[in-house]
Amino acid sequence: QVQLVESGGGLVQAGGSLRLSCAASGGVFSSHDMGWFRQPPGKEREFLATISRSGSFTSYADPVKGRFTISRDNAKNTVYLQMNSLKPEDTAVYYCAGGYFGTIASRYDYWGQGTQVTVSS
């Protein structure tokens, strides 16, 4: 059973940056495609980015394209989300997920517990 633990969330001013990390354990990390999602207050969970098991392929949601970058280090069993030019509307709980390459949350097999990101104006 793969376990995922996110870290790196916090409070940041608009225009600032944060890097989220998601550490995996309990499985062969390099065999899993990974993704990042977020859930703003009172809204549905939404797809942000996905990365293939080798890291060769990535895909992004339009609202974060050009601002967020997904990457992974298979030697460290970790996937990252670099977030730049943050906006107040980026405020949400951020989740990493594993087991699928794509935008559909229900297709992912594993989820972390989430980390809060708050962007102040």
Residue 33 three-state SS: coil
pLDDT at 27 (0 to 100): 85
Question: Given the structure tokens 């996905």, which residue do they identify?
Answer: 50
Q: What is the per-residue pLDDT across 14-60, written as a single tens digit (0 to 9) for each? A: 999 999 999 999 989 999 999 999 999 999 999 999 999 999 999 99
pLDDT at 1 (0 to 100): 82
Q: What is the per-residue pLDDT across 81-113, written as a single tens digit (0 to 9) for each? A: 999 999 999 999 999 999 999 999 999 999 999
Smallest CA-to-CA distance from 57 within 22, 33, 84 is with 33
Calculate the alpha carbon distances from 115 to 31, 54, 66 in Å. Answer: 24, 25, 22
Return the H-helix or E-strand segment holding 59.
strand 58-60
Q: What is the per-residue pLDDT across 54-87, written as a single tens digit (0 to 9) for each? A: 999 999 999 999 999 999 999 999 999 999 999 9
